[in-house]
Structure 1
């Protein structure tokens, strides 16, 4: 592995070499779950309701909001990689390398999130546009400072491939719990008689912000970093060496494409669903029901993950789930005259399907981090995770921009109490046919192009352990 030392699971920390470290267990899983719980209190709030806040409270055009989301997410992608390289240049302290940053940056992150939902009545359109740009980009930048160390931390909590899958599962559970609270309670707080109310948005932001801080603290207290790099042999990694390794890492490249595509679809659906139920079905109460069913579908899938992955493998389980979702969304498009309850029933099956992919995706990331080390001898958790996060931010940029542009294209007008029939039909197509096509593409990518099947993943873990032991 050249001049770079490997990583090993040890009973010590960098700052206290004689202090024993407890074994990996449920406490770590819960701690890691709380991290994404905290992340998604604001991430899902923003994903689901910020556009409607901008269009219906600030009165901004959907096209402008789409442009804002596109610019901000592309900037965030750069911030992710920059912060990832910064994190990799830091030494581990008494409490680890990654989790101290989660605690440090969580407070400014939450404050910036609350600022986004402040409404000063009577201001000009130009003021609202400028305020939206400044606060949204600030929040996105600070989100990188928390999310990059959080995501990177999974690979140093344990090096066991099966336990990493459980971390991925618990992470998704955390996000699902946040989604349950926000998507069920959020519409009840924010909307009054199917209309967005400005003061209700800031109330929601404050409540979810307090909960977010509590979850970040729990993540810090409960999780432990165990996989420690040997600092005596560690030298500064040149960017050129990292880039060469990335170019050779085919699993990383394909999981980047699949994840980008999935997140683009997920964000687009989250944005459009608000308008689908508010305008097409004329029922924000139904939107709350969907907000309950989505995490419920994930909870149903959760106990099936470990046995299915153990028998068939990660890529096989994830790809079959996403194929089921694609079929269900296609059915929703074909059956365009469904009652809202029947629509939600079929949608629940689709959510159950893509829940498998969402539960497994973070375990894919830890595998490709290991593969990068196997190829290059470089252990760059923060950098690799930031590259992965970069792709997700690009997906968010495309989805945010696409959502705004698509709404503008189908003729959505926030000043109309009732949208035209053409607009309503366009919203229905955006919410059904588009995700059906995108999810089928994801199935093809994961099933036929991503190379780390069950056999190759187990062999990778064994080969990497042998390489690490050989340099000790």
Structure 2
């Protein structure tokens, strides 16, 4: 157990600014932050691979290597930038908000540069351009996303208000997904082929909107909690890691989140090829994006009452089972139409939505369990580990996406792909998600131990321990 001095300091409340109470401005401002983040994040995850293969003529396998290297670099960039910000003193306007404003313009400019196509340049130039601009963009993304994600803990200290912020953040991401998923394909594709000029135009338009969102996040949100400058007893990293390794809920949710993120990013990349080559209808990408986002929105009002009655683990696992069965059904159809795919994938996203909504609540429970095991309240350490796992998942997804497209025989130089390649693309877009969603379901059911009863008991035990100190 931690020493009394350490425990007392962990439980110490931080000073709170009372000049403007928490309200809709903070919620909407926080929504705008993730809206700005995801305009480019979703744009790149949806269209950058096909832009590289069809415009820059980089092989899918090489693109996979680029994505793998970049995401692994980003995982460490997140940790380094988080440590840098933690060592800076708070300014009169806050500790995190200034960095969002300072770094948003370089981030957006680097994002636009990824989609610059200069006629007459060699393949080697385009390959170097892709590596440099994509890695720079990913690094600058950390400089905005880390302070944005950290800011929620200093906007309010009320747990219910923090949950509200998480919900609004999710809605911001979903709105960005809706805009990119519906409008993006209409802009960037001409006659079923991606257009370099239109892709560059889309990057500029979404970049300007992202800048406006970041400014809105900076203006509307307010940091109220000021961390006290106190000297704490140092906790050895080895001790923390030993406790984390014993944290079965943490290991379970990290595993589930990692493979789920792999599936999400893989599907984003593969779906473009699925509709472009298998269905021959890129226009339907807008419809599937709209249906899937709408299905997730339907889960939002249902999540809270269902979780209150049955529990987070129970609702999330049932949602993953629904998602898995939906994609298995599509795969087993002899010749599914675009409409059938859209409807069944929408049902899958409805089930998947419950997992997405309660993910951050799972992480909160995991932090509580870490405190229960070790006596140490180390929110930042656990969150940093979770963030790193997500980046590793993105790295794996980026690599697998490129390798998988290459493995099924995709050739950007030919007008029509072979039947074997088309079947491979279809399997990547249906069977693979079905298997991954089933794996997440099994992890939640058989390995994640915090069901509703144990979660409530954990909260009661921690409350009793804190009151006794």
- In structure 2, runs of 5+ residues without a counterpart are none
Given candidates 270, 275, 278, the residue that maps to 1:277 is 275
Residue 142 of structure 1 deviates from its aligned partner by: 1.4
Given candidates 50, 53, 58, the residue that maps to 1:52 is 50
User: Aligned pair 1:6/2:10, yes or no?
Assistant: yes
Given candidates 154, 176, 179, the residue that maps to 2:177 is 179
Question: Which deviates more, 23-32 or 137-146?
Answer: 23-32
User: Aligned pair 1:305/2:303, yes or no?
Assistant: yes
Question: Which deviates more, 295-304 or 147-156?
Answer: 147-156
Given candidates 253, 275, 290, the residue that maps to 1:292 is 290
- Closer, same or farther in 2 for the Cα pair 1:383/1:401, shift >3 Å? same
Alignment partner, residue 219 of structure 2: 221
Residues in 1 aligned to 2:458 and 2:23: alpha-carbon distance in whole angstroms: 23
Residues in 2 aligned to 1:290 and 1:230: alpha-carbon distance in whole angstroms: 49
* RMSD of Structure 2 on Structure 1 (CA): 2.4
Secondary structure, aligned partner of 1:42: helix
Residues in 1 aligned to 2:407 and 2:84: alpha-carbon distance in whole angstroms: 41
Q: Is the 8 A contact 2:18 2:224 kept in 1?
A: no
User: Aligned pair 1:262/2:260, yes or no?
Assistant: yes
Residue 369 of structure 1 deviates from its aligned partner by: 3.5
User: Scaled by the length of structure 1, what TM-score is found?
Assistant: 0.91
- Closer, same or farther in 2 for the Cα pair 1:254/1:179, shift >3 Å? same
Given candidates 67, 70, 84, the residue that maps to 1:69 is 67
Residues in 2 aligned to 1:107 and 1:215: alpha-carbon distance in whole angstroms: 12
- Closer, same or farther in 2 for the Cα pair 1:293/1:67, shift >3 Å? same
Alignment partner, residue 342 of structure 2: 344
Alignment partner, residue 448 of structure 1: 446
Residues in 2 aligned to 1:459 and 1:22: alpha-carbon distance in whole angstroms: 36
Residue 218 of structure 1 deviates from its aligned partner by: 2.3
Residues in 2 aligned to 1:465 and 1:88: alpha-carbon distance in whole angstroms: 28
Q: Is the 8 A contact 2:155 2:224 kept in 1?
A: yes
Residue 133 of structure 1 deviates from its aligned partner by: 0.7
Q: Is the 8 A contact 2:96 2:148 kept in 1?
A: yes
- Closer, same or farther in 2 for the Cα pair 1:440/1:154, shift >3 Å? farther
Residue 459 of structure 1 deviates from its aligned partner by: 4.5
User: Aligned pair 1:123/2:121, yes or no?
Assistant: yes
Residues in 2 aligned to 1:459 and 1:93: alpha-carbon distance in whole angstroms: 40
Residue 163 of structure 1 deviates from its aligned partner by: 4.3
Residue 386 of structure 1 deviates from its aligned partner by: 2.4
- Closer, same or farther in 2 for the Cα pair 1:427/1:201, shift >3 Å? same
Question: Which deviates more, 195-204 or 242-251?
Answer: 242-251
Residues in 2 aligned to 1:298 and 1:146: alpha-carbon distance in whole angstroms: 26
Alignment partner, residue 170 of structure 1: 168
Alignment partner, residue 16 of structure 1: none
> How many pairs align?
465
CA-to-partner distance for each residue in 1:398-445, whole Å, 9 max, x for gaps?
A: 111111111111110111111111110110000000000001111111
CA-to-partner distance for each residue in 1:281-320, whole Å, 9 max, x for gaps?
A: 1111101111111211121111111111222222222111
CA-to-partner distance for each residue in 1:368-419, whole Å, 9 max, x for gaps?
A: 3444455445554444322211111111111111111111111101111111
Alignment partner, residue 103 of structure 2: 105
Q: Is the 8 A contact 1:77 1:390 kept in 2?
A: yes
Secondary structure, aligned partner of 2:139: helix
Q: Is the 8 A contact 1:183 1:291 kept in 2?
A: yes
Question: Which deviates more, 128-137 or 454-463?
Answer: 454-463
- In structure 1, runs of 5+ residues without a counterpart are 14-18
Question: Which deviates more, 448-457 or 61-70?
Answer: 448-457
Secondary structure, aligned partner of 1:232: coil
- Closer, same or farther in 2 for the Cα pair 1:156/1:237, shift >3 Å? farther
Question: Which deviates more, 304-313 or 380-389?
Answer: 380-389
Given candidates 435, 439, 446, the residue that maps to 2:433 is 435
